[in-house]
Structure 1
Amino acid sequence: MSAPTPSKVHYHKTARELEIGYADGSTYRLSVEYLRVFSPSAEVRGHGGDSATLQVGKKDVGLSNITPAGRYALKLHFDDGHDSGLYSWEYLYALIRDRKANWADYLERLDAAGASRESLGIEIRQL
């Protein structure tokens, strides 16, 4: 069974949450931090095996833009410069469905690495 296509996508800038609504009336809000650390990009997920890169310091990340990718996905443009992953309807639905388990696993991996969700407070810009 394929995932439903969202009927509504709304970014709540102050809360840093992406609201996704479906035709059946269900709505879900995902934090931008969660979407960023679970980006489907090869930069984050790696190229298979244990090559994923643990994302740290993403607590305060926001979105600078959201663009459609055909009729099957969204491209999220994060304000930390990351924008290389396509969030298919199936992937977004899986993130909604598995949110609690994903987040618990992420926090465990951060703890094991001695890392933090907090940013370093250093602004880095590429020119």
Structure 2
Amino acid sequence: MSGLTSETPVPTSIVVHAKSRALELRYPNGLSYRIPFELMRVYSPSAEVRGHGPGQETLQTGKREVTIVSIDGVGNYALQPTFSDGHATGIYSWDLLYELATRQDALWQTYFDRLAAAGLDRDAPMAAASAPRGHCH
């Protein structure tokens, strides 16, 4: 389930930068990357964000100010951060973290394209997912 391949580098150190809202990963080859918390949050691998199949993704908005309040290791293959908006169900494999770290420009562009296609503003508050749309009780 981890999706970890033998080629995926495992970070040698992980630093949460609260002020700049980025997760810093250092790798054995000496390279380090900073992944913005917002990028991590909008690409969360959780079912809540990804859905249970293609086309069921929930586009995340209003996450620019999100921070990571705590982070836990999952076995030796992943991290599970708790975000300031309460989201804590995303398990980030080393594969996913490396992809987020190394493909930031492309991932941001995809995110902005999806926002534009949906007519959503990046900073719009998330609609409550619990109530069906158009129904008031």
Task: List alignment gaps of at least 5 residues for structure 1.
Answer: 121-127
Shift of 1:114: 2.0
Deviation at 1:98, TM superposition (A): 2.1
1:31-59 CA deviation, whole Å, 9 max, x = no partner? 00000000011110111120000001111
Aligned position for 2:14: 9
1:72 and 2:55 equivalent?
no
| C-alpha distance in structure 1 between counterparts of 2:93 and 2:49, whole Å | 16
Secondary structure of the structure 1 residue equivalent to 2:81: strand
For residues 65-84 of structure 1, give each alpha carbon's deviation from its aligned partner in whole angstroms, at most 9, with x where no partner exists.
01111111000110000010
Instruction: State the distance in 2 between where 1:40 and 1:2 align.
Output: 20
Q: Establish whether residue 43 from structure 1 lines up as the match of residue 59 from structure 2.
A: no
SS in 2 for 1:90: helix
- Match of 1:123? none
1:111 partner SS: helix
Percent identity, please: 45
1:54 to 53, 59, 65: 59
Equivalent in 85, 93, 99 of residue 94 of structure 1: 99
Q: CA deviation at 1:108?
A: 1.0
1-structure distance, mates of 2:12, 2:121: 35
Give CA deviations for 1:15-38 in whole Å, capped at 9, x if unaligned: 001000011110000100000000
Structure 2 CA distance for partners of 1:58 and 1:72, relative to 1, 3 Å: same
Tell me if the contact between 2:59 and 2:115 (Cα under 8 Å) persists in the aligned partners: yes
Any runs of at least 4 consecutive aligned residues in structure 1 with deviations exceeding 4 A, and if so which? none
In the comparison of the two structures, how many residue pairs are matched?
120
Alignment of 1:112-123 (within 5 A): 112-120=117-125
